[in-house]
Chains A and B, each alone.
Chain A
């Protein structure tokens, strides 16, 4: 069952590829080879599954939301990635990559983070495996997510502030790549989304495929069939590609939701940054423009290349929502279901709330990619 694998060059249709300095190409080749071998090795898969179950708390439940359904006028199923260890789906990918890094003999992890969820997850995996860990985070994000900065310190990671450019996720990726260029011999770049140079978009998708695989079985057991719509928020797009993987060969409509201020599919044009060709927010001269969103985790001007491809071939559609709609959705889920969502998945819920007429009578599955604890301080200020 499945999503199409990329070409050997890492292409999903016309998107993807490997646009990084020559220094990193051998490392990408080595990673590609190591991942292919590990992913085909039942021993590696068993070890990862054991970690996902006994350490991260998988499988995550599927919650049938009765009060929210009443409010919205259609059935809502939440895939509860917020209940994973470290509070988001990010742990699936980092456990996979850290295990792979160990297998490759790497002793150090470098990562970028936006909201801090991937940074915390990487720091967690590094602590678990006894690896050194450096996380780059934009200065703007360090200020708005100080709790996650503290968590990373507790976990033994070094957090380095990215001071260049827009000082958000995009620049944290630049700094992480620059560091990787200098440390590639002993360091694995633990990239946090389904983006970057090949094999990252594909590998990250495969590590998150567990979300979609579980959700598909859980949905069939619960409802006797597949959902009509599967939706998820999209920054780089890792949680969305994970859940879409379970449903791409079903009749379910796939809907990715971006922030209005970072809607690469709606407002971007094809471009190349951070190692791959995809839709990208940029000016007429090719300078990458800054995304603006209430959510640090979606504050990204690009999108993973496989999403660009799914949009290109019409298999998935991409909507975008405003910060104000997100604030409403954040409160809606808290009030109706007793679940405080992260601001990122609140984007998908905001679209669900806006599209209630279109969705009437359907069964809609939302990937609740993270919990809202990290956003409580920010929301306290917004809601007064």
Chain B
């Protein structure tokens, strides 16, 4: 394994305690140049990285990340091949995977959790696993000391929200709008509302994702949230070949400097 990476929650808390805002870029695992992109993002000031393990039916993702999924799957990339490559990667910030429940289920929940840990990946994000279904995975993840990020959505009720944040580890993923991942011209009003609702009921890091893609949007949402997740804007640069990993690094640097002015 590369350098000691620590936990996602540890890294985010360190940033927050230092008065800063957190930045977590999403990069589709297996995509050409993704390992270099992860390193570039780390050097440019990311606090942790979300690595996507592609799935054939990503219902929470918009067209750009769907396309990245299809490209990567066509190359024969597997969950194991991503974990193997990431394990040896020289990067000193914590890593998370984002994938869908069936990937972990087919792998075997316990085996998946242990394999993540062995690959130096400290957290898992499974967007089609709501609180109601978290039990079996949480048992496996807790046992392997893997953090389980939980989602809070604009539609989440006040009754449900405290139970979601209580189960979350790593951070609380606040969904910024009603919709799937993708870039939007403006930050949705719902983004700061859900961030504030989460902050009111938890001390855990609250990051907003979905519909956050520009430095200005990242800055706007992080005035309320502890930070943000940026995915589609980064993956689009990889797909369109805009500077490859360096292009990703440049975008992350821009996002970082916007957040540093919060």
Chain A positions within 8 Å of B, measured between CB atoms, are 9, 17-27, 164-165, 170-171, 174, 177-178, 181-185, 269-275, 277, 280, 282, 284-289
Complex interface: stretch among B7-15, B113-121, B125-133, B227-235: B125-133
> How many residues of B are in contact with the other chain, CB < 8 A?
43
- Give 30 pairs: A residue, B residue, CB < 8 Å, sorted on A: A9-B132, A19-B128, A19-B133, A21-B128, A21-B151, A21-B175, A22-B156, A22-B164, A25-B131, A26-B156, A26-B157, A26-B160, A164-B63, A165-B57, A182-B179, A182-B180, A185-B178, A271-B106, A273-B57, A277-B105, A280-B102, A285-B78, A285-B79, A285-B80, A285-B107, A286-B102, A286-B103, A286-B107, A288-B56, A288-B102
Closest chain A residue to B177 by CB distance? A182
B179 touches A19 (CB 8 A): no
A272 touches B156 (CB 8 A): no
Do most interface residues of chain A lie in helix, strand or loop, or is the interface mixed?
A: mixed
Q: A18-B133, A26-B156, A27-B155 are in contact. Are A272 and B128 (CB under 8 A)?
A: yes
A25 touches B130 (CB 8 A): yes
Cβ–Cβ < 8 Å partners of B101 in chain A: 19, 272
8 A Cβ contacts from B47-103 to A: 55-60, 62-63, 66, 70, 73, 78-80, 100-103
Q: A182-B179, A185-B178 are in contact. Are A20 and B57 (CB under 8 A)?
A: no
B153 touches A21 (CB 8 A): yes
B133 touches A17 (CB 8 A): yes
B153 touches A274 (CB 8 A): no
Cβ–Cβ < 8 Å partners of A165 in chain B: 56-57, 70
Closest chain B residue to A29 by CB distance? B157
Closest chain B residue to A182 by CB distance? B179
* 6 pairs of A and B residues whose beta carbons are closest in the complex: A286-B106, A182-B179, A23-B153, A22-B151, A287-B56, A22-B153
Give the Cβ gap from B111 to chain A, nearest Cβ, in Å: 12
Cβ–Cβ < 8 Å partners of B160 in chain A: 25-26
- 18 additional A-B residue pairs with CB within 8 Å, beyond A17-B132, A174-B57, A184-B178: A17-B133, A18-B130, A18-B132, A21-B153, A22-B155, A22-B175, A25-B153, A25-B155, A165-B57, A171-B57, A178-B180, A184-B155, A270-B105, A272-B128, A277-B105, A282-B106, A284-B106, A288-B102
How far apart are the CA atoms of A250 and B119 in the complex, in Å?
A: 54
How far apart are the CA atoms of A68 and B121 in the complex, in Å?
A: 63
How far apart are the CA atoms of A286 and B105 in the complex, in Å?
A: 8
Cβ–Cβ < 8 Å partners of B100 in chain A: 272
Give the Cβ gap from B58 to chain A, nearest Cβ, in Å: 8
A20 touches B59 (CB 8 A): yes
Q: A26-B157, A285-B78 are in contact. Are A21 and B59 (CB under 8 A)?
A: yes
B128 touches A23 (CB 8 A): no
Give the Cβ gap from B161 to chain A, nearest Cβ, in Å: 10
Cβ–Cβ < 8 Å partners of A20 in chain B: 59, 128, 130
How far apart are the CA atoms of A22 and B59 in the complex, in Å?
A: 12
Closest chain B residue to A287 by CB distance? B56
Give the Cβ gap from B119 to chain A, nearest Cβ, in Å: 16
How far apart are the CA atoms of A282 and B107 in the complex, in Å?
A: 12
A286 touches B180 (CB 8 A): no
A288 touches B130 (CB 8 A): no
A183 touches B178 (CB 8 A): yes
How far apart are the CA atoms of A170 and B131 in the complex, in Å?
A: 25
Cβ–Cβ < 8 Å partners of B132 in chain A: 9, 17-18, 25
How far apart are the CA atoms of A18 and B129 in the complex, in Å?
A: 8
Contact with A along B143-162 (1 / 0, CB 8 A): 00000001111111100100
Closest chain A residue to B105 by CB distance? A272
A23 touches B70 (CB 8 A): no
Cβ–Cβ < 8 Å partners of A271 in chain B: 102, 105-106
How far apart are the CA atoms of A270 and B105 in the complex, in Å?
A: 9
